[in-house]
Structure 1
Amino acid sequence: MALIRIIEAQVSSSTVPQPLLIIGGGVVAFLLTYLLTFGVIKFCAKFNLLDRPNRDQRDRIHKKPVPRLGGVAIFLGFIFASLLFYVTNPEVQGDEMIRYILLMIAALLLVVTHAYDDVRGLSAPIKFAIQTVAVIIILGPWNWHFYGIILFGFSNPFGVTHGTNLPWYQQTIISVFIHTPDITWLAIPAVLITWFWFVGMTNTINFIDGLDGLASGVVAITGIFITIVCVIQKQYTIATLAGIFSGAVLGFMPHNWSPAKIFMGDSGSQFLGLMLAGFSIMGGAKVALALMVLGIPILDVAVIIVRRLRRGQSFAQADTTSHLHYRLLATGLTARQICYIFYGLTTAFGLLALSLPRNVKIIGLILVGATMFFLIFWLDNLQKQREMLLQATPSPAREPHSSGEDHHTPAHAEG
């Protein structure tokens, strides 16, 4: 407690350099989450809150039950560290503090309800409704004004930096019908785009949480890049918050690395997605950065949704074969090797996003799309070759007394 009071006093004194706050907050979040995860593992083991390998007949990698509530440890580590290094910072005032509080209330809602989902289960419509309520909280509507986070403008890669009375397509920021966060009919498109961004990001992270260390590693790298961009733009308080978040996720990774001792569960993936969506808007929209760094997972989810809709299937159902990481797993790559591929792509596109000027960032987005197209084309060809090989290979005669099938299911490493 004495150490905590010392940290609070130093942070609130305005004498601590901002870079030290960012690094210190990240380190403390790392240590807190790392230690808290041990407690969550013991808690889950004591109360039998475990993911069973044969619960849904999709797990071949994990042979033993694994705890699922790792997201609770990440959330607590982030909260405690942000209270020490962000909330006590005198630079954080007014609207920014309100946005932080609203974001934390929404995060608490998602973590609590999806922790219940990890243990007991919730239907897809209920989870969808909870996500929508979380977005409404984040918007902060009150007295005909939005006090929270709302995305009502985008950086225009084709904008002209000099000149007055420019047409909308040459302006550096393209607004979504409104220029101020007032609650009017014109705000409906901005509200819908904000809802789509938050719900889309939370579900994207949830969908890629399919292999040990995959989602946590990709999110940690993305958080680091958001931190760097905030520092470059001199948005130090947001950089502190993003740095704390990155540290918390990194603190969970040693426990989640293959073979995982604990899964983050939906409580973790929903929290991680919500925070990334929020950080990419707070302090100036960094949507292009998030789209580039998370381009492969986002496009993977988009392709899966389109394919399911074309087949008349629900896009909310669980999938252990179609996602990019599962298809890579089917080629013979290990879970760790696939994580390295995703980490490499995430880092490469993050560096590209940092190096490209604003007016040519569209090139980076095109490169992300081209990379995804190449991966899909390559995997589709591999799948066709395997199917042709199986058709050409005669099947062994089945024993006449066999009374059942050998259920050979896709590999799965994360719940």
Structure 2
Amino acid sequence: MMLWFVLPVIAIASFLLTWVLRRYALARSLIDVPNARSSHTAPTPRGGGVAIVLCFFAAVAASFSLEILPLNQVAALLGSGALVAILGFLDDHGHIAARWRLLGHFIAALWALYWIGGLAPLSMFGVNLELGIFGYVVAAFFLVWMLNLYNFMDGIDGIASVEAITACVSAALLGWLHSDSNIVGPLLLASAVLGFLCWNYPPAKIFMGDAGSGFLGITLGIFALQSAWISSDLFFAWLILLGVFIVDATVTLIRRLLRGEKLYEAHRSHAYQFASRHYKQHSPVTLTVGVVNLLWLLPMAFLVVHGILEGVVGVLIAYVPLLMLALRFRAGLTESTH
């Protein structure tokens, strides 16, 4: 019951800290200036995602001290999240070569997997798939991809925040309906992001920055892997709930790879970026992501968690319209392509 009193406190703290960080960014000239590959049109402070990180860390540490969260979950979240956030913070303030960022990302992933216990055996069509040591490799690439795709998808006002909030609240609801477990972490993160969203909603007064987007990506990935140890269906539910970001980023990545483009170079060829230019504003796209998550992906995840749909089947059905939307809005194509 105390959790429901704590959540508003986290959101308020995040809101106030974001205000402080905005003033800091303005004073230090940490500004994203629009260029030909930007989706925004006005110079905007960046680095506000640090508020999410610090408020979430404080909440997780307090939960551990109150014996609400176990050591392995806390160590995985704080250790990997801190490394990714620090790398992002340094990159926001200067530049870190892509190879060193990627190395740091894999170290963070392996740290988390050490505490999680790797990839849990996944039940598919009545068969338990145990990957053993290879499961660590698969899970490490999953976490690094989640981290980077979240960074890629944080390109218009509010979209990364809305994705995190709706996915976390939906996962907490499903976890509660399933076993009343594994809901605390997602709710703490949703509250921290909510305070930041008040400043980031279109038109954004501050951007999340790499410190925030990368942190959100790996944290959501850790939540998904942690849930797999409770139930394979909960893991597949997380894949469904994060489907908008996974599908758009993956289709865009594949098409850019096929053209031989450098993946670390800035671009604006994601479906959501094409959509924001089509509608000439960010809010319709950001709101649509939230609506899709709640009215399509949450019901599909519910069917999986309650055994009405097989996990893999649920993911495929959930992703089909997302894939159609990604292709409709030309995910991964060049801007000159019609």
How do 1:315-334 and structure 2 match up within 5 A?
315-320=263-268, 322-334=269-281
Matched, 1:68 2:46: yes
- AA aligned opposite 1:262: I
Query: Aligned-pair distance for 1:279?
Result: 1.0
Aligned residue in 2 for 1:224: 169
Query: Aligned-pair distance for 1:235?
Result: 4.4
Aligned length: 329
TM-score by length of 2: 0.89
Taking the aligned partners of 1:75 and 1:329, their CA distance within structure 2 comes to 27
Q: Percent identity?
A: 25
Query: Aligned-pair distance for 1:207?
Result: 1.2
Over aligned residues, Cα RMSD in angstroms?
Answer: 2.3
- Secondary structure (helix, strand or coil) at the match of 1:155 reads strand
Taking the aligned partners of 1:73 and 1:101, their CA distance within structure 2 comes to 20
Taking the aligned partners of 2:39 and 2:248, their CA distance within structure 1 comes to 23
1:374 maps to which of 324, 330, 333:
324
Residue 91 to residue 309, structure 1, CA distance change in 2 (3 Å): closer
1:148 maps to which of 113, 116, 125:
116
Taking the aligned partners of 1:373 and 1:41, their CA distance within structure 2 comes to 36
Matched, 1:193 2:171: no
Instruction: Give CA-to-partner distance per residue, 1:326-365, whole Å, 9 cap, x none.
Output: 1212323521001111111111202221134334344432
Matched, 1:27 2:4: no
Taking the aligned partners of 1:387 and 1:276, their CA distance within structure 2 comes to 33
Matched, 1:89 2:66: yes
Aligned residue in 1 for 2:107: 133
TM-score by length of 1: 0.74
Q: Is the 8 A contact 2:40 2:156 kept in 1?
A: no
Aligned residue in 1 for 2:204: 260
How do 1:172-251 and structure 2 match up within 5 A?
173-176=128-131, 178=132, 187=133, 189-236=134-181, 238-251=182-195
Taking the aligned partners of 1:40 and 1:91, their CA distance within structure 2 comes to 30
Query: Aligned-pair distance for 1:52?
Result: 2.1
Q: Is the 8 A contact 2:257 2:263 kept in 1?
A: yes
Q: Is the 8 A contact 1:25 1:243 kept in 2?
A: no
Q: Is the 8 A contact 1:153 1:175 kept in 2?
A: yes
- AA aligned opposite 2:246: I
Query: Aligned-pair distance for 1:232?
Result: 2.2
Q: Is the 8 A contact 2:224 2:239 kept in 1?
A: no
- AA aligned opposite 1:369: Y
- AA aligned opposite 1:316: Y
Larger helix share, 1 or 2: 2
- AA aligned opposite 2:258: R
Residue 380 to residue 135, structure 1, CA distance change in 2 (3 Å): closer
Aligned residue in 2 for 1:351: 299
- AA aligned opposite 2:328: W
Instruction: Give CA-to-partner distance per residue, 1:112-163, whole Å, 9 cap, x none.
Output: 11111011022221111110110122123xxxxxx4341132232x22xxxx
Q: Is the 8 A contact 2:272 2:329 kept in 1?
A: no
- Secondary structure (helix, strand or coil) at the match of 1:228 reads helix
How do 1:28-43 and structure 2 match up within 5 A?
28-43=9-24
Taking the aligned partners of 1:23 and 1:33, their CA distance within structure 2 comes to 16
Query: Aligned-pair distance for 1:272?
Result: 0.4
Q: Is the 8 A contact 1:309 1:315 kept in 2?
A: yes
Taking the aligned partners of 2:246 and 2:160, their CA distance within structure 1 comes to 12
Q: Is the 8 A contact 1:226 1:280 kept in 2?
A: no
Taking the aligned partners of 1:233 and 1:197, their CA distance within structure 2 comes to 24
Structure with the greater alpha carbon radius of gyration = 1
Residue 337 to residue 174, structure 1, CA distance change in 2 (3 Å): same
Taking the aligned partners of 1:133 and 1:197, their CA distance within structure 2 comes to 13
2:310 maps to which of 330, 338, 360:
360
Taking the aligned partners of 2:57 and 2:119, their CA distance within structure 1 comes to 24
Query: Aligned-pair distance for 1:255?
Result: 0.3
Q: Is the 8 A contact 2:247 2:326 kept in 1?
A: no
Q: Which runs of 5+ in 2 are unaligned?
A: none
Q: Is the 8 A contact 1:71 1:268 kept in 2?
A: yes
Query: Aligned-pair distance for 1:377?
Result: 4.3
Taking the aligned partners of 2:196 and 2:53, their CA distance within structure 1 comes to 10
2:258 maps to which of 275, 294, 310:
310
Q: Which runs of 5+ in 1 are unaligned?
A: 1-19, 141-146, 160-170, 179-186, 389-415
Q: Which moved more, 1:371-380 or 1:251-260?
A: 371-380
